[in-house]
């Protein structure tokens, strides 16, 4: 049975990821888009509002960040949507996140129609998260680099202020904490159940679901699933990339895992055959040494992660998700700990079913 500290709140609904602590000193320098100002706004609820092609030209304007009550929508409680269109200049090495401050009470956030995060739980399993800061990673695969990008925020307010309240509100670049790291945050392939063939580099995973890493799978359409599942990530290394003396940082996984690179098992946490996590495996950082020459410079490589979730939330739920040289391990964790905006401070709030 897992045990949780006081910061791991037991309630109902979606898993959500929030950051506790102050602002990073580098945020202003790394900001890519200032989202403070007028957004489009509509009362009510319709999932078509998440689609980037939806025509919101007749919607009201509302200032963000500010409660919708103070913006003229007094005494309204219930569902409402915000939309904002922006253009972004990004490079292939960028690590972007959306900072929304606080939202009263519950939110889901879509970027160009893709769900990138959720905090709290909508009715009928309502659970407020009005006092938690929202920060959500934006996979580069979802970014339109040559035109309009649409952010759509679905909000539910039970009472009180309502809306996007806190600051800063913007898109930021997540800093690189190692000179020669390879970041693997973002979109991975995902499949429920278990098959040893899925560890092989040559396996075709085109038909698999897309999933955000890090974030528990329960928040991404696989609510209440316990058991085996697999993640796969295909990536290409530069021809001059040094492929020896490397470590894979795979964050935290709920509950147990086996990790393969190009079909070779490089590390595991927990006893998968036992199918019982009894040593708080979910709370451990996965730091796995990569055998020399397993990775291939100048060509595609595949990481496959076999996961067994015993109960409650499951999956790769917390970063960092990065490959670094062993010589930079100490430097990486020192910078990681010294900054206020760090993935080790992201807390997955576990929300259980009755």
Q: Is the pLDDT of residue 353 over 80?
A: no
Q: Is the pLDDT of residue 340 over 80?
A: no
- Check whether residue 247 and residue 228 sit in a common domain: yes
**Residue 38 resides in a domain:** yes
Cα(239)–Cα(74) distance, rounded to whole angstroms? 59
pLDDT at 352 (0 to 100): 27
pLDDT at 93 (0 to 100): 73
- Check whether residue 105 and residue 34 sit in a common domain: yes
* pLDDT tier, 314 (very low <50, low <70, confident <90, very high otherwise): very high
Beta strand 106-111 with 315-325 is unpaired
User: Averaged over 257-285, what is the pLDDT?
Assistant: 93
- Asked whether 237 and 289 are in contact (CB, 8 A), the reply is no
* pLDDT tier, 270 (very low <50, low <70, confident <90, very high otherwise): very high
pLDDT at 11 (0 to 100): 25
- Check whether residue 89 and residue 68 sit in a common domain: yes
**Residue 5 resides in a domain:** no
User: Averaged over 303-309, what is the pLDDT?
Assistant: 98
Is the model more confident about 24 or about 93?
93
- Check whether residue 237 and residue 145 sit in a common domain: no
- Check whether residue 145 and residue 261 sit in a common domain: no
Q: What is the 3-state secondary structure (H, E, C) of the chain?
A: CCCCCCCCCCECCCCEEEECCCCCCCHHHHEEEECCEEEEEEECCCHHHHCCCCCCCCCEEEEECCCCCCCCCCCCCEEEEEEEEEECCCCCCCCEEEEEEEEECEEEEEECCEEEEEECECCCCCECCCCCEEEEEECHHHCCCCCEEEEEEEEEECCCCCEECCCCCEEEECCCCCCCCEECCEEEEEEECCCHHHHCCCCCCCCCEEEEECCCHHHHCCCCCCEEEEEEEEEEECCCCCCCCEEEEEEEEECEEEEEECCEEEEEECCCCCCCCCCCHHHCEEEEEECCCCCCECCEEEEEEEEEECCCCCEEEEEEEEEEEHHHHHHHHHHHHHCCCCHHHEEEECECCC
Across 63-67, 100-104, 116-120, 294-298, least confident range: 116-120
User: Averaged over 83-107, what is the pLDDT?
Assistant: 90
Global pTM reads: 0.74
User: Averaged over 264-292, what is the pLDDT?
Assistant: 92
pLDDT at 25 (0 to 100): 40
Is the model more confident about 318 or about 257?
257
Across 68-72, 73-77, 245-249, 349-353, least confident range: 349-353
- Check whether residue 69 and residue 143 sit in a common domain: yes
- Check whether residue 168 and residue 194 sit in a common domain: no
pLDDT tens-digit series, residues 36-74: 999 999 999 999 999 999 999 999 999 999 999 999 999
* pLDDT tier, 21 (very low <50, low <70, confident <90, very high otherwise): very low
| CATH code where residue 146 lies | 2.60.120.260
Domain final residue pick, 173, 192, 212: 173
Say whether the peptide bond before residue 255 is cis (omega within 30 degrees of 0): yes
- Asked whether 177 and 332 are in contact (CB, 8 A), the reply is yes
Residues 6 or more apart whose CB falls under 8 angstroms from that of 85 comprise 148, 149, 150, 151
Q: Is the pLDDT of residue 252 over 90?
A: yes
**Residue 19 resides in a domain:** no
- Asked whether 36 and 101 are in contact (CB, 8 A), the reply is no
**Residue 6 resides in a domain:** no
- Asked whether 173 and 94 are in contact (CB, 8 A), the reply is yes
What average pLDDT does the chain have? Answer: 84
Dihedral (CA of 272, 225, 19, 30) sign:
positive
pLDDT tens-digit series, residues 150-201: 999 999 999 989 999 988 899 988 766 666 788 888 889 999 999 999 999 9
**Residue 354 resides in a domain:** no
- Residue range of the domain that includes 119: 27-173
pLDDT at 74 (0 to 100): 94
The token duo for 298 is 């100048």
User: Averaged over 108-137, what is the pLDDT?
Assistant: 88
**Residue 206 resides in a domain:** yes
Cα(210)–Cα(186) distance, rounded to whole angstroms? 10
Q: Considering the chain, what percentage of its residues have pLDDT values greater than 90?
A: 56
For 297, list phi and psi in degrees, rounded to 5. -70, 140
Place of tokens 């990790």: 259
């Amino acid at each position: 049975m897992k045990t949780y500290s006081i910061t791991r709140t037991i309630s109902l609904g979606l898993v959500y990821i929030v950051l506790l602590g102050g602002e990073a000193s580098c945020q202003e320098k790394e900001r890519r888009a200032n989202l403070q100002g007028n957004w489009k706004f509509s009362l009510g609820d319709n999932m078509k509002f998440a689609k980037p092609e939806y025509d919101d030209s007749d919607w009201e304007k509302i200032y963000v960040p500010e409660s919708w009550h103070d913006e003229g929508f007094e005494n309204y409680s219930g569902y409402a949507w915000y939309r904002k269109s922006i253009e972004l200049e990004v490079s292939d090495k960028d690590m972007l996140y959306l900072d929304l401050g606080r939202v009263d009470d519950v939110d889901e956030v879509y970027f160009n129609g893709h769900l990138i995060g959720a905090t709290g739980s909508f009715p009928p399993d309502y659970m407020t998260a009005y006092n938690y800061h929202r920060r959500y990673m934006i996979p580069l695969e979802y970014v339109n680099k040559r035109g309009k990008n649409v952010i759509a925020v679905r909000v539910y307010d039970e009472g009180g202020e309502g809306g996007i309240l806190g600051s800063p509100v913007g898109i930021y670049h997540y800093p690189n904490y190692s000179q020669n790291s390879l970041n693997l945050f973002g979109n991975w392939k995902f499949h429920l159940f278990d098959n040893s063939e899925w560890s092989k580099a040559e396996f075709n995973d085109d038909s698999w679901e897309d999933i955000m890493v890090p974030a528990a799978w329960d928040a991404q359409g696989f609510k209440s699933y316990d058991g085996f599942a697999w993640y796969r990530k295909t990536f290409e290394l530069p021809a001059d990339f040094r492929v020896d003396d490397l470590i894979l940082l795979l964050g935290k996984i709920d509950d147990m895992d086996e990790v393969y690179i190009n079909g070779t098992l490089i590390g595991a946490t927990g006893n998968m055959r036992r199918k019982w996590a009894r040593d708080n495996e979910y709370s451990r950082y996965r730091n796995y040494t990569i055998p020399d020459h397993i990775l291939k410079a100048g060509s595609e490589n595949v990481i496959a992660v076999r996961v067994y979730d015993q109960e409650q939330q499951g999956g790769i739920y917390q970063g960092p998700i990065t490959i670094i040289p062993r010589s930079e391990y100490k430097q990486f964790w020192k910078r990681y700990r010294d900054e206020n905006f760090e993935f080790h401070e992201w807390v997955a709030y576990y929300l259980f079913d009755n």
